[in-house]
Amino acid sequence: MSVDSLRFPRRASVGLPHPLVSCLAAFGAVAALWPSGLPRSSLVSAALVAGCVAVATITGLLLARRRPVPPVGAVAAAAGGIGTTWIAALISGSWQNVLRSDLGAAPVGAEWIVMSALAAMVVFGLIVWLPRTTAVGSAMIAALVAGALPADADDGPAEPPPPPAGVLYGPVDAGSADGRATELVARWVDEGGLDREAVVIAVPTGSGWVDPSAVRGYVDRFGGDVDVLALQYSARPSWQTFVADRSAAGHSAIVLLRAVLDTVAERTPGERPAVHVYGQSLGAVGAEAARVWAVAERPGAVTETVLSGVPGDSVARQSSPDSDRVILANASDPIPRWSLASIWRPARQPHDARIVGRPARQPPWLPVIGFLQTSADLLGSLDGDAGVGHRYGASQTSSLSDAG
């Protein structure tokens, strides 16, 4: 299909597109400007509006092909679409300031509203009246962006991120998970780990990252008499590991937990370090898998399992009444709310989840739109301070009695 085929065979006398096109474009703007769960910059808002309006406008053009354009309806739909877009931008800007007040961020001004609304109208006009120029320009921009992206090189696993101070770390290498876990536990024993008050198995995120705030919290909690062990299972970005092989987190966590429990079992119960399991984000999925394994295979051996920022619908919502599981979710964290199921139903937290961090009002949910907004919030989930978005401070592990 050529670009020109998106034009209408017959236009209204005022040169406006079919009412269906204007209505769908306005819906795209409203969807993009629906209240978000995290503060959003004017540039991000304008980009999201432009993308949604572009998709909606092209869809409308395809659906309205070869249909007559009623002049009065075209004018009314265009005027209604412009008004709806500006009203949506005003409401969205007001929501941004309410949300920013909750989260301690600077308020937005009129430029946020203007940029968001103008993005919708500019994109709409370019696609409707300059389809060929817009298509060529978009293709050139896409080619430039693609050319600027680095090519993937198969040079072996990437360098692991530097572990926080006080963490005994097992990076990814050619060895098996069992062998690396055995080696890591042997290092821990050689450094006097069995004489500590506690040992924490920290399951990294997909990229191998361990939250230094969580480590600091455990050190504070046990007065420094604690060791933290972490076994890397992937060197790819967390989202890639989550999509491609989320089971790797659970497998590595179980292997390391089994090795630790086998080793501490050599001590009498009163002389063993307490075993704790911790995970954040994808690491929380692995930590939960290790906890479930321990409940079945080594009941009572794990003192406590802390899961921070668990991805939506990735762990069981119900746990046993005597479970050692502690789930923490910041009120404004989009990751616990994100799942494909949120396309058709609101997000559901596990029953034992504790809502922590800075209190924030929650945006109203609508099918599809709620999923779109939560997905957009993921882009800025790490931009805030501790307690905002996907940032969890030392209190996640240092003072759990006060976390709820």
Neighbours of 367 (CB within 10 A): 11
* Rounded CA separation 303/275 (Å): 6
Q: Is 72 helix (H, G, I), strand (E, B) or coil?
A: helix
pLDDT of res. 239: 66
Which tokens in the block code for residue 133? 């120029």
Q: What is the reported pLDDT for 243?
A: 66
pLDDT for residue 249: 86
**DSSP string spanning 215-259?**
HHHHHHHTTT-EEEEEE----S-HHHHHHHHTHHHHHHHHHHHHH
**Contacts for 50-54: CB closer than 8 Å, 24+ residues apart:** 50/119, 50/120, 50/122, 50/123, 52/28, 52/372, 53/25, 53/28, 53/29, 53/119, 53/120, 53/123, 53/124, 54/28, 54/123, 54/127
Domains delineated in the chain: 3-147 (no CATH), 167-402 (3.40.50)
Can you name the residues that pair with 329 across neighbouring β-strands?
Answer: 355
pLDDT in tens, the chain (404 residues): 454 544 444 444 446 889 999 999 999 999 999 999 999 999 999 999 999 999 999 999 989 887 787 888 888 999 999 999 999 999 999 999 999 999 999 999 999 999 999 999 999 999 988 766 666 666 666 666 555 555 444 444 456 678 888 899 998 876 788 999 999 999 999 999 999 999 999 999 888 899 999 999 999 999 999 999 999 988 776 667 666 666 788 999 999 999 999 999 999 888 999 999 999 999 999 999 999 999 999 999 999 999 999 999 999 888 776 678 999 999 999 999 999 999 999 989 999 999 999 999 999 999 999 999 999 999 999 998 999 999 999 999 986 544 43
Structure tokens at 122: 């500019």
Give the whole-angstrom CA distance, residue 212 versus residue 231.
15
The reply to whether the predicted model has a pTM over 0.75 is yes
> For the stretch 84-108, what's the b/e string if a residue is b when 16 or more beta carbons lie within 10 angstroms of its beta carbon?
bbbebbeebbebbbebbebbebeeb
- Reduced to 3 states (helix: H, G, I; strand: E, B; else coil), residue 150 is coil
H-helix or E-strand spanning residue 369: helix 369-378
Instruction: Report which of 51, 49, 48, 61 is spatially closest to residue 22, judged by C-alpha positions.
Output: 61
Amino acid identity, residue 324? D
Annotate 325-351 with b (16+ C-beta within 10 A) or e (fewer).
bbbbbbbbbbbbbbbeebeeeebebbe
CB 38 within 8 A of CB 332: yes
> In the numeric block, which tokens belong to residue 226?
């604690």
Instruction: Please report the pLDDT score of residue 112 as a whole number.
Output: 97
Residues 31, 50: Cα–Cα separation, whole Å: 11
Please check whether residue 308 is in contact with residue 280, taking contact to mean a CB–CB distance below 8 angstroms.
Answer: yes
Name beta bridge partners: 24: none
> What SS3 state is found at 330?
strand
**Which residue is it, tokens 């096109």?**
21
- The string of DSSP letters for 174-188 reads SS-HHHHHHHHHHHH
